[in-house]
């Protein structure tokens, strides 16, 4: 995990070494703004090429004209009115999660990580592909195992510098990802073909009233939208293009959100006074009802949104944003040559005491509108910022609100785990090497 000492915090930049590779570390808002706000410095770092065998050249890994065209085509699919269609899936999967957690009420401390991750995997799979893989019920499915195996392979390659060259990676590890990639790509491709055929069948039966009963549609998924988007010239995405984006959504859309939910549970369990305020808000919005969360409910959960934002300040799901300079650049009097690698470190950026006094304290009130006035726009970038900001930000915040509100409407969370016991690991996702261990009590039946 890369951190920045107090002795170095006043420096605008710092040179770091990843083995033999020099990189420039950035952790001040004024410096970060130069890179993230630029329409030129959008090339991802060399390390992102490790994801290309799985994700191809989708939104996460592509650059230049391909990225601009793809981003323009896909952005409308994340409109908030479209995202509301996914609320039913989020509520259903959150209910399954709560039922699985119920067995731990009044029991010993347990690690929440796997439970929450399987829930977010089910949500992203059904909302992206329209396919219910029931990961929470069957966590031993071939596809679920392939997703985690591939993520582990990428993590391992990033950590071991001798595996960075392709020929060495293929020599020592090539046989492992080959079978895993085959499972992942075959699954995604089959779902795309199946969905495309369903859409074609629906279009045919719309023109034939006698076959209307055959036209029953499944829930809409991102995949349906991707099959129909066109660029300025009227060109559609090919099935390979769609597979790249579907795989990218699957990769980016479950682990990051699961991390945010798990960190929020840890922080709420460590700060009962914050949890009590959130309790009051949940009672105000939902009363004692057990109904699903609606889009109107989510708008009213202002304090929960602040809790999520403060969680992502302290524990940003993506601990590093790596870019490659596409041209020479001067920052704070330093000349940085074309081809230079840079790493933006949100974990350190979010702890700048100029913008976040008492930076290690968990204070959701920091994100009340009146307390956010005048804060540098690049002092807080959990979803990156600028042209290459995270396209799924609204989706992620909606999902976290639904899942957390459902958990906290049922349980009171406690933890005795100290920060120093977490064992932070900053890879593709910021995760605790020792897990997040909590205990649960039944809410509204026992006084916390």
- Enumerate domains of the chain plus CATH numbers: 6-442 (1.10.630.10)
Torsion of CA 139, 145, 146, 152, to 10 degrees: 120
Q: Which residue has the tokens 């969905």?
A: 195
390 is in an annotated binding site: yes
Contact in structure between 367 and 375 (CB atoms under 8 Å): no
Give 208's Cβ-side CA count (13 Å radius): 11
Closest-CA residue to 347 (of 421, 268, 426, 423): 426
pLDDT tens-place string over residues 102-153:
999 999 999 999 999 999 999 999 999 999 999 999 877 899 889 889 988 9
**pLDDT of the residue at 148:** 86
**Distance between CA atoms of residues 406 and 298, nearest Å:** 12
Distant-in-sequence, close-in-space partners of 394: CB < 8 Å, separation ≥ 6: 78, 80, 83
Contact in structure between 341 and 408 (CB atoms under 8 Å): no
pLDDT per residue of the chain (448 residues) written in tens, 0 to 9: 545 555 555 677 888 877 777 789 999 999 999 999 998 888 988 888 999 999 999 999 999 889 999 999 999 888 877 888 899 999 999 999 999 999 999 999 999 999 999 999 999 999 999 999 999 998 778 998 898 899 889 888 888 888 888 888 888 887 778 889 999 999 999 999 998 998 888 777 766 655 544 455 567 899 999 999 988 888 899 999 999 999 999 988 889 999 999 999 999 999 999 999 999 999 999 999 999 999 999 999 999 999 999 999 999 999 889 998 888 888 888 888 888 889 999 999 999 999 999 999 999 999 999 999 999 999 999 999 999 999 999 999 999 999 999 999 999 999 999 999 999 987 778 999 999 999 999 987 544 4
Contact in structure between 409 and 81 (CB atoms under 8 Å): no
- Three-state SS string over the chain comes to CCCCCHHHCCCCEEEEEECCEEEEEECCHHHHHHHHCCCCCCCECHHHHHHHHHHCCCCCCCCHHHHHHHHHHHHHHHCHHHHHHHHHHHHHHHHHHHHHHHHHECCCCEECHHHHHHHHHHHHHHHHHCCCCCCCCCCCCHHHHHHHHHHHHHHHHHHCHHHCCHHHHHHHHCHHHHHHHHHHHHHHHHHHHHHHHHHHHHHHHHCCHHHHHHHCCCCCCHHHHHCCCECCCCCECCHHHHHHHHHHHHHHHHHHHHHHHHHHHHHHHHCHHHHHHHHHHHHHHHCCCCCCCCHHHHHHCHHHHHHHHHHHHHCCCCCCEEEECCCCEEECCEEECCCCEEEECHHHHCCCCCCCCCCCCCCHHHHCHHHHCCCCCCCCCECECHHHCCCCHHHHHHHHHHHHHHHHHHEEEECCCCHHHCCEEECCCEEECCCCEEEEEECCCCCC
**Distance between CA atoms of residues 279 and 361, nearest Å:** 20
**pLDDT of the residue at 446:** 46
**pLDDT of the residue at 325:** 86
- Residues 166-187 as b or e (16 or more Cβ within 10 Å = b): eeebeeeeeeebeebbebbbeb
**pLDDT of the residue at 448:** 43
**Distance between CA atoms of residues 114 and 262, nearest Å:** 10
Distant-in-sequence, close-in-space partners of 341: CB < 8 Å, separation ≥ 6: 21, 22, 23, 24, 45, 46, 322, 323, 324, 325
**pLDDT of the residue at 293:** 97
Question: Cα dist. 442→93, 132, 281, 289, 413 in Å?
Answer: 20, 29, 17, 15, 9
**pLDDT of the residue at 22:** 78
**Distance between CA atoms of residues 348 and 11, nearest Å:** 13
**Biggest CA pair distance of the chain:** 76
**pLDDT of the residue at 9:** 57
- The region, left, alpha or beta by phi > 0 then psi within -120 to 50, assigned to residue 358 is left
Contact in structure between 201 and 214 (CB atoms under 8 Å): yes
């Amino acid at each position: 995990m890369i951190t920045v000492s107090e002795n170095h915090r006043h420096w605008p930049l710092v040179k770091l070494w990843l083995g033999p590779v020099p990189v420039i570390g950035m952790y001040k808002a004024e410096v970060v703004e130069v890179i993230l706000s630029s329409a030129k410095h959008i090339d991802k770092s060399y390390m992102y090429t490790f994801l290309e065998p799985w994700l191809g050249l989708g939104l996460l890994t592509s650059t230049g004209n391909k990225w601009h065209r793809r981003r323009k085509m896909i952005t409308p699919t994340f409109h908030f009115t479209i995202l509301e269609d996914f609320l039913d899936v989020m509520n259903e999967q959150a209910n399954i999660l709560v039922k699985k957690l119920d067995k731990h009420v009044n029991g010993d401390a347990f690690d929440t990580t796997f439970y929450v991750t399987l829930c977010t995997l089910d949500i992203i799979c059904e909302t992206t592909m329209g396919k219910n893989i029931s990961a929470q019920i069957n966590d031993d499915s071939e596809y679920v195992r392939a997703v985690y195996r591939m993520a582990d392979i990428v993590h391992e390659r990033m950590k071991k510098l001798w595996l960075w060259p392709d020929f060495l990676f293929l020599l020592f590890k090539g046989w492992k990802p080959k079978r895993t990639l085959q499972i992942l790509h075959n699954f995604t491709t089959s779902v795309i073909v199946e969905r495309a055929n369903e859409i074609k069948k629906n279009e045919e039966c719309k023109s034939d009233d006698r076959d209307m009963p055959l036209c029953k549609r499944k829930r809409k998924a991102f995949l349906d939208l991707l099959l129909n988007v066109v660029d300025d010239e009227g060109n559609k995405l090919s099935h390979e293009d769609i597979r790249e984006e579907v795989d990218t959504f699957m990769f980016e859309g479950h682990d990051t959100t699961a991390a945010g939910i798990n960190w929020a549970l840890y922080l709420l369990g460590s700060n009962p006074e914050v949890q009590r305020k959130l309790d009051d808000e949940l009672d105000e919005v939902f009363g004692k009802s057990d109904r699903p969360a609606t889009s109107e409910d989510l708008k009213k959960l202002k304090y929960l949104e602040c809790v999520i934002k403060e969680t992502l300040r302290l524990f940003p799901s993506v601990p590093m944003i790596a870019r490659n300079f596409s041209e020479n650049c001067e920052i704070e009097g330093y000349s940085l040559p074309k081809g230079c690698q840079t790493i933006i470190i949100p974990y350190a950026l979010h702890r700048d005491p100029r913008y976040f006094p008492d930076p290690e304290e968990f204070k959701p009130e920091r994100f009340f509108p009146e307390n956010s006035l005048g804060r540098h726009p690049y002092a807080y970038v959990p979803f990156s910022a600028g042209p290459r900001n995270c396209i799924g930000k609204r989706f992620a915040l909606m999902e976290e609100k639904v899942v957390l509100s459902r958990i906290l409407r049922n349980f009171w969370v406690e933890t005795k785990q100290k920060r120093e016991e977490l064992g932070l690991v900053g890879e593709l996702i910021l995760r605790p090497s020792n897990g997040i261990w909590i205990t649960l009590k039944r809410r509204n039946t026992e006084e916390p």
